[in-house]
A = this chain, B = another copy of it.
Amino acid sequence: MNSLEEVDDFVKNGHRHYLPHLSIDPVIFGYHDQQLKILLLKWKGLNGWGLPGGFIQRREPLSQAAHRILQERTGLESIFLQQFHIFGDSPYRLQERSTSEFRANYGLEVNDDNWLFERTLSVGYFALVDYSKVSVRTDFFTEDYQWWDVKQVPPLLFDQSEVVEKALATLRLQIYHQPIGYNLLPEKFTLPEIHTLYETILGKELDQRNFSKKLVALGLIKKLAEQRAIGPHRSPYLYQFEKEAYEDALKQGIVHTY
């Protein structure tokens, strides 16, 4: 959606193609430089940051819509994507913005009852993606994008700060029940790398030695013969996820005791 005709049609007729009152807002997590990051878009005109969301087509299954939106925004297919909450307690969205402001910012004519200005509930998804494989596409409404360290996310538009917070909380809880990392790390990685990833996600220190022992004991990762050169120190071995054990753990969950 880049040409002015397309945008005009989207604003004027979008309610015929999309379900009104609902949007999908994915929190896209990536990992780089020992930092957990999320992808944000800068909205033209509104001059603020927000999630790379989209709308659900009238006859499109919800989960399919989520995958489509992610694909359109990042080029990624078949990645870890999970719904975690629907937000509908702060009843306004664009409503806070007047249609005249919209007109001024984008030079588009809109009526006061335009569908984009109605109350919108937001379906929250979170995605875990390989940072290096993302190629972001901006469109008419978004003038910029940036990966932000989760520790330094700026205030977001609408109620989206709450969305990000809840996504992070869900991820932190889930890491106790499911293996995480397959989509956040390159295919081959070192023990210190996955160790730092987990520390970063959980926001606390984990004993290196015990952590590695645990992952190996669970059968989730296996040691390769190769090593990585990292400068003036001992070279760490490379590891790989055990696909089967990983999938099993994803499905069945790592349940603990009572």
Contacts and interface: CB of A to CB of B under 8 A. Distances in A.
Interface string A139-176: 00000000000000000000000000000000001011
Contact of A176 (B60, B63, B65, B255): B255
Interface in A36-62: 56, 58-62
Nearest to A204: B258
Contacts of A89: 61-64
Contacts of A119: 19, 58-59
A91 interface: yes
B91 A258 contact: no
Contacts of A19: 21, 119, 121
A206 interface: yes
Interface in A208-258: 211, 214, 253, 255-258
Interface residues of A, number: 38
Contacts of A63: 88-89
Instruction: Give the number of copies in the complex.
Output: 2
Interface in A75-102: 83, 85-91
A19 B22 CA distance: 10
Nearest to A21: B19
Nearest to A177: B173
A63 B145 CA distance: 32
Q: Which 10 A/B pairs are nearest by Cβ-Cβ distance?
A: A62-B88, A256-B256, A61-B89, A86-B86, A19-B21, A63-B89, A62-B89, A86-B123, A61-B91, A59-B91
